[in-house]
Amino acid sequence: MEESFPMTGGDGPYSYAKNSNRQKEAAESAKAMLVAAITENLEINKHNICPISNSFRIADFGCSTGPNTFIAIDTIIEAVCKTYHESTFVHNPEFHVFFSDHVSNDFNFLFTNLPKDRSYFAAGVPGSFHNKLFPRASLNLAYSSHALQWLSKTPMEVTNPSSPAFNKGKIFYAKAVEQVCEAYKRQHEEDLASFFGARSEELAPGGLVAILMSGREDESSPSQVSLGPLFEPLESTLIEMANEGIISQEKLDSFNLPIFSPSPKEIKKIIQKNGCFEIVRLEVQPRTLHPMITLQQCRAGFENIITKHFDDNNNNNVIIDVTPVLL
C-alpha cells in the first residue's frame, strides 16, 4: 500500500513554500544543464505535437506548493521556445502545464500563488507519480525535482523485528547494516521502475524526461550516503524522546524515513531495464554548501510523515519537542 508524504502546505513559518531554498539553489545550479538537455535533445515535429491543438504539454511530478515549481517551468518554457525558434515551426505552441503531486498536497495554496503573468495554461494533477496520471502519449516533457528520492513506502523488512534488515533504533539507512541498505535499494528500484513505466506510456514520441534528484556521487555502499548527517539531529531527538518515554521504543523502531539516494549506475540500470528511454545525459552535481538541515526545513519536509507515524494517540507535541534539539 503506497503512502503519501506531502510537504507542509500553506505559507506558515514551517511551510515548504517558505523553506525550499535548498532545493531552489540546487535547481538553479542545474538550470544550465536543464536548458542544454532540452535544446539539444527535445525533438519537436509533427509526430509528437498534436496537430489539432498545437499545444506543448509539460508536467512537474512532485511539484509541491511552489515557488520552485514555477521557476522551473519558466526555465523549461524558455528552453522549449528556443528550440522552436531553431526549428521549422512558424509559431510557438501554447503551453499546458500540469502541476502534479500527492492528493494531500496543498493544491489550494499552489493555485492561489500561480504567477499572474504566466505564459501557460495551468492544471493540478493529484496522485502518485508511481502510477499513470495522464493519457497515453499526451505529454511532451516530464520534469521532477527533489521528489524521486522519496520512496512510495518504507521498505517492510526494515521495520520487521524478525528480519535481518530490521533497523532497530535508527530512522535511516546511513551507517546501517548492509541488509537495511539492500532493502532500501530494492524499494527504490521498484519505485523508480514504476515511475519510468508510467512516464514511458504518457510521453509522446520524441518527448523528454528531466530529473533532478538527491543521489550518491559514486558506487560506494548506500550506507555512506552523504545525506546521512542531515537526519542525525532528528534521529537523536527521537531516540531521546523514546528514552524519556514520550514516544514508545516500538514506534521509534517502526519509523524509517522513506528516502533513498541512488548512484548513477543504479539509475542507469533501472532506465535500461525499462527499455523505453535513451539516456542522453546523466550528470552528478557537487553538493551545495549547506552542512545542516534547519528546523524549518525539517518541518517543511517531515512534519506530515512524523505526525502521521507518532500521533496516533493525539500526541501533538511530537513536532514541538523536536524543536530545541534541532535549533
In the complex, which residues of this chain contact a second copy (CB under 8 A)?
47-48, 50-55, 93-96, 98, 103-104, 106-108, 111-112, 114, 121-127, 132-138, 204-205
> Considering beta carbons, is residue 51 or 324 the nearer one to a second copy?
51
The Cα 16–Cα 192 span in angstroms is 24
The Cα 145–Cα 211 span in angstroms is 6
> Considering beta carbons, is residue 84 or 231 the nearer one to a second copy?
84
Whole-angstrom distance between the N-terminal and C-terminal Cα of the chain?
A: 35
> Considering beta carbons, is residue 35 or 125 the nearer one to a second copy?
125
> Considering beta carbons, is residue 67 or 228 the nearer one to a second copy?
67
> Considering beta carbons, is residue 1 or 320 the nearer one to a second copy?
1
Query: Which of 188, 271, 262, 173 lies closest to 218, judged by CA?
Result: 262
DSSP 259: B
**Shortest CB 322 distance to a second copy, Å:** 26
**Shortest CB 93 distance to a second copy, Å:** 8
**Shortest CB 7 distance to a second copy, Å:** 14
> Considering beta carbons, is residue 135 or 275 the nearer one to a second copy?
135
The Cα 257–Cα 172 span in angstroms is 6
**Shortest CB 194 distance to a second copy, Å:** 16
With beta carbons less than 8 A apart as the criterion, state whether 12 and 296 touch: no
**Shortest CB 15 distance to a second copy, Å:** 15
> Considering beta carbons, is residue 1 or 289 the nearer one to a second copy?
1
Distant-in-sequence contacts of 125-129, Cβ < 8 A, 24+ apart: 125/59, 125/98, 125/99, 125/100, 126/100, 126/101, 126/102, 127/100, 127/102, 127/103, 128/2, 128/4, 128/102, 128/152, 129/61, 129/62, 129/100, 129/195, 129/198
Q: Write the burial class of residue 195 (CB in 10 Å: 0-12 exposed, 13-18 middle, 19+ buried).
A: buried
> Considering beta carbons, is residue 207 or 215 the nearer one to a second copy?
207
**Shortest CB 107 distance to a second copy, Å:** 5
**Shortest CB 139 distance to a second copy, Å:** 9
C-alpha to C-alpha distances, 152 to 190, 195, 212, 257, 321, nearest whole angstrom = 9, 10, 18, 11, 27
The Cα 205–Cα 45 span in angstroms is 10
Residues 6+ positions from 286 with CB-CB distance below 8 Å: none
Q: Three-state DSSP class for 97?
A: strand
**Shortest CB 8 distance to a second copy, Å:** 14
> Considering beta carbons, is residue 95 or 260 the nearer one to a second copy?
95
**Shortest CB 163 distance to a second copy, Å:** 31
